[in-house]
Amino acid sequence: MKRKILTTVLLICCVAIGFAAVFADLNGKWSGVLNAPDGNQYPLTYSFKVDGSKLTGTLDVNNISVPIDSGRVSGNDIMFSVTVEGMAYPHKARYYSAGDSVAVDVNFAGTKTHTTLKRAQ
């Protein structure tokens, strides 16, 4: 009985360490260019901070920094929103640790656009 409990605890710890390693890699600055529905291109820099399943940080665009709202991480899936001039822009993203990239879909009032972020130097 003790052996089963010990084995279970060790397996849970290994899984938790694995998730922590994935999340730790997401932490930091990521940059890319967003092609907006209006035809303009916007260079973006996201600063991500993961604490468990909670995601915080900022988005820097056009010399403006806005906080990340309602950020969540579940495995490699990321969901958050940013509010610019009173308008919320939901984001859905996926972290690819092998390619060191983040694929991001941004919802602009019903119009979705996609960009890929790379780790900033």
Residue pair 10/90 in contact by the 8 Å Cβ criterion = no
CA 108/CA 69 separation, integer angstroms? 16
- pLDDT (tens digit per residue) in 28-78: 999 999 988 888 899 999 999 999 999 999 999 888 899 999 999 999 999
pTM: 0.75
Tokens of 26: 């997401």
Q: In DSSP terms, which residues pair with 31 in a beta bridge?
A: 45, 118
Residue pair 105/86 in contact by the 8 Å Cβ criterion = no
Residue ranges and CATH numbers for the domains of the chain are 2-119 (2.40.128.20)
- pLDDT (tens digit per residue) in 1-22: 655 553 444 444 334 444 444 4
SS3 68: strand
